[in-house]
Amino acid sequence: MASFQSVARAADDAVADAQPTARASQLVEHFFRHETGRLHGALIRVLGVHNLSLAEDIAQEAMLRALRAWSMGGVPANPPAWIMRVAMNLAKDALRHRNMSAAKEADIITHVEQMTPQAAVIGEGAPEIRDDALRLMFVCCHPSVAPDAQVVLALKVLCGFSTGEIARAFLTSEAAIEKQLTRTKQRIAAAGIGFEIPEGEDLTPRLNGVLAALYLLFNEGYKASAGDRLLREELCDEAIRLGSLLVAHPAANTPRAHALLALMLLTSARFPTRLDEEGDLLRLDEQDRSKWDQSLIERGLIHLAEAARGNEITAYHLEAGIAACHCTAPDVASTDWARILSHYDELLRINPSPVVALNRAVAVSYLQGPQAALDTLAAMKDRHRLEAHHLLHAVTGELQLKLGNHRAAAESFRRALQLAQLAPEQSHLTRMLELSETG
């Protein structure tokens, strides 16, 4: 399946005289993002997992027809049901064309009949429809598929990511992602993977892949890998929706799943203050905490309490604990930085990555001062892996500025500005560079 952008380009070529209205284009993009997993899941249930590529093609054609039809004739009263009905009719035609089992047609009819007006709200409708996205999650994360390929496939068929978006998330090329997707689908077809939610000992290894995919999906929304927008809240909302669906099912109602959902909810609560009215990035100490979403914080804390069941401590637990420290503090000064540093120490033990070490250095700065944080950065293991990442230089610039080292700060901000790819980050770094140069 292509990205929404490729669907839109195809529509432009096919309907040159009927340009899509903004309303139709926006709605198709919305359903491409929010209905991808549900639509693919419904199609795979009737076509079989071995026809994953066919399901993607049908979903793409259904979205393309929606863009054409809605542009010329207006948006229907129940857009999700419209798209599902078109997709199921296309699936019926594909079954006939490929001489597949006639018994599958009854399944298609059942799916179409389940698409009542109430089912227009994502996650509602018949239990089979609600579970289709979950089944698809676990298909993508089958043990026969390599862990990195699990996440790539889930982002593609469950979340509607383009190959370009996935390539940026994995710091690789689109061609490499395309090859990996092709090999993964072939492996799934050869393995004869069933369309079910695993139980018992089969659940744990596949749940890890599902959670990793949701974590990446949320991260792409929290900080887009490229473009003019820092936040893509629709991706975060989708990750939270899928995470909520996950923990609501007995098979996946586990502490680590609750921990990830808590992390996403607590992080999303701070979205209203990440950017100012001009779209520029706001630092934590510049944010108006009265605007944080208290309902999301409450939900996040509830799931964090659920995550405390048992003795399991995962990276999701620790990151959620850090987010909770921020969300429950009235201001930066009264934040429990000692607890945050302790969480980062444990997180670094579980996941010894330079990004975690960089975030830990920020916590050190609040407890021990900017020079201690700079010393921590200088001694950081694998620091070279972040030299091409703007955040290392941006943090260094902030610390140098606090010490009054304006020339060193300006040098770091210039380097960060060269590496930053997002417009809000570039704007923020420009402001910081000007501040260091005039200080």
Tens of each residue's pLDDT in the chain, 439 residues: 444 444 434 433 433 343 446 666 666 666 666 677 778 888 888 888 888 888 888 988 888 888 888 888 778 888 878 888 888 888 888 877 765 554 555 555 455 444 443 443 333 443 444 567 778 888 888 888 888 888 888 888 877 778 887 887 676 789 999 999 999 998 888 888 888 777 777 777 788 888 988 898 888 778 765 555 666 787 788 789 889 988 988 888 999 999 999 999 999 999 999 888 877 788 888 999 999 999 999 999 999 999 999 888 999 999 999 999 999 999 999 999 999 999 999 999 998 889 999 999 999 999 999 999 999 999 998 888 899 999 999 999 999 999 999 999 999 999 999 999 888 888 889 999 999 988 6
Q: Are 183 and 245 in contact (CB under 8 A)?
A: no
Residue type, 349: R
> Which residue in 361, 367, 333 sits closest to 347, CA to CA?
361
**pLDDT of res. 160:** 78
Packed helices 233-248 and 22-47: angle between N→C axes, nearest 10 degrees? 30
**pLDDT of res. 393:** 96
**pLDDT of res. 23:** 64
Residues 345 and 403: their CA atoms lie apart, in Å, by 25
Cα 113 from chain centroid (whole Å): 31
**pLDDT of res. 236:** 86
Q: Are 20 and 11 in contact (CB under 8 A)?
A: yes
Residues 379 and 366: their CA atoms lie apart, in Å, by 18
Lookup: tokens for 326: 């921020």
Packed helices 203-222 and 255-268: angle between N→C axes, nearest 10 degrees? 10
Residue type, 70: W
Residue type, 42: A
**pLDDT of res. 36:** 76
> Which residue in 57, 72, 224, 214 sits closest to 137, CA to CA?
214
Q: Are 294 and 246 in contact (CB under 8 A)?
A: no
> Which residue in 8, 52, 4, 32 sits closest to 238, CA to CA?
32
**pLDDT of res. 170:** 72
Residue with tokens 């927008």: 229
Residues 219 and 117: their CA atoms lie apart, in Å, by 32
Q: What is the DSSP letter of 286?
A: G
Q: What is the DSSP letter of 230?
A: S
Q: CA-CA-CA-CA torsion for 283, 236, 312, 329, nearest 10 degrees?
A: 30
Q: What is the DSSP letter of 77?
A: S
> What kind and span of H or E run contains 330?
none
**pLDDT of res. 4:** 41
Q: Rounded to the nearest 5 degrees, what angle is found at the Cα of 126, between the Cα atoms of 253 and 193? A: 60
Residues 11 and 154: their CA atoms lie apart, in Å, by 26
Residues 76 and 82: their CA atoms lie apart, in Å, by 7
**pLDDT of res. 270:** 94
Q: Are 266 and 297 in contact (CB under 8 A)?
A: yes
**pTM for this predicted structure:** 0.76
State the number of CA atoms in the 13 A half-sphere of 120 facing the CB.
Answer: 8
Residues 407 and 325: their CA atoms lie apart, in Å, by 34
Lookup: tokens for 178: 């395309």
Residues 39 and 28: their CA atoms lie apart, in Å, by 13
**pLDDT of res. 151:** 81
**pLDDT of res. 300:** 97
